[in-house]
Amino acid sequence: MSQPLSLYLDRPSRVQRLSPLTRLAVVGFILVAGLSLPGIWAGYAVLLLLVLPLGFAARVQRELLVTTLKVTFPFALSVFLIQGFLWPGGTPLVSLGPISLKYEGLVFAIRSVGRIMVVVSGFLWFAYTTRPDRLMAALSLKGLPSALVYMVVATVQIVPRFQGRATAILDAQRSRGLETGGNLLQRSRALVPLVVPLVLSSLIDVEERAMAIEARGFNRSGTKTSLVEISEAAWESPARWGIVVAAILLLGASIWLRIAP
């Protein structure tokens, strides 16, 4: 079974017809808005009013919502438990023996989880709607260094490649009789036979990819050609600059509100 190279979902829509750089600018604005806006519910507002409508526009709303909840749930659980019950001082809400749930810790946990959900959902929306080869071609056309372009594309591809490799290793070990289910002790015993091949195969994959890109003239100077053609509407470039300016203004306003008396 071939490993997926990205999280991209081929769902024809107006969003996916945009230039990858336009979607990248939108993600940047989402992150700035979700991380800089004040208020305990700011992250959730950005998620509901901006990210989810974009998911519906790109026809990836189901995968976006389900994956976001799956990824953020462990973080949310740990943040609520640690910050809620171990917050120094604060106003107790509920007491459980020697520990108590603090109001200030609960507020911090709610705000932090909202921001985590914005970051995760923003990157997932971009990954679901963007083909890595088109992103690479678009960045190269703008004159970005090849090393930086490769780092961006490799970051987008790293999660699905790890998922595919981990699934293949898990199936192979199960076919050899390895018990991967059961109680916590049995799962702990199966951890080493799963992690060691995953790490070693990842290192081998890095070397193979380095050899492949060198064979294709990665460090070659001069103009390079590409089989992928990137076209964009005339309004997209001004729109990107508008989004960047709006993000800068939003960030500046957030900083001013924080330091203003």
Q: Quote the domain boundaries for residue 159.
A: 132-216
Residue type, 52: L
Residue 177 lies inside a defined structural domain of this protein: yes
- pLDDT given at position 143: 73
In the numeric block, which tokens belong to residue 245? 């300016």
Q: Output phi, psi for 86, to 5 deg.
A: -110, 15
- Contact yes or no for 27/148 (Cβ under 8 A): no
43 lies in the same domain as 166: no
Residue 225 lies inside a defined structural domain of this protein: no
- The more confidently predicted of residues 7 and 177 is 7
Helix H or strand E encompassing 147? helix 146-175
CA-CA distances (angstroms) from residue 228 to 16, 75, 138, 155, 224?
Answer: 15, 38, 9, 20, 12
Weakest-pLDDT range from 8-17, 130-139, 203-212: 203-212
- Contact yes or no for 6/127 (Cβ under 8 A): yes
139 lies in the same domain as 239: no
- pLDDT given at position 174: 74
Give the tens place of pLDDT for each residue, 83-127.
888 888 778 887 777 778 888 888 999 999 999 999 999 999 998
The DSSP code for 220 is: -
239 lies in the same domain as 122: yes
Burial of 65 (C-beta count, 10 Å sphere; 0-12/13-18/19+): middle
C-beta atoms surrounding 257 within 10 Å? 11
Give the tens place of pLDDT for each residue, 8-21.
888 888 888 888 89
18 lies in the same domain as 92: yes
- Residue 3: band (very low, low, confident or very high) from pLDDT cuts 50, 70, 90: very low
Question: 174 CB contacts (<8 Å, ≥6 apart)?
Answer: 180
Distance separating alpha carbons of residues 145 and 133, to the nearest angstrom: 16
Model pTM score: 0.77
Tell me the HSE value of 162 on the side-chain side, using a 13 A CA sphere.
9
69 lies in the same domain as 88: yes
123 lies in the same domain as 183: no
58 lies in the same domain as 164: no
Give the tens place of pLDDT for each residue, 19-62.
889 999 999 999 999 999 888 999 999 999 999 999 999 999 99
- pLDDT given at position 190: 66
Average pLDDT, the chain: 81
- Contact yes or no for 199/236 (Cβ under 8 A): no
Residue 1 lies inside a defined structural domain of this protein: no
42 lies in the same domain as 88: yes
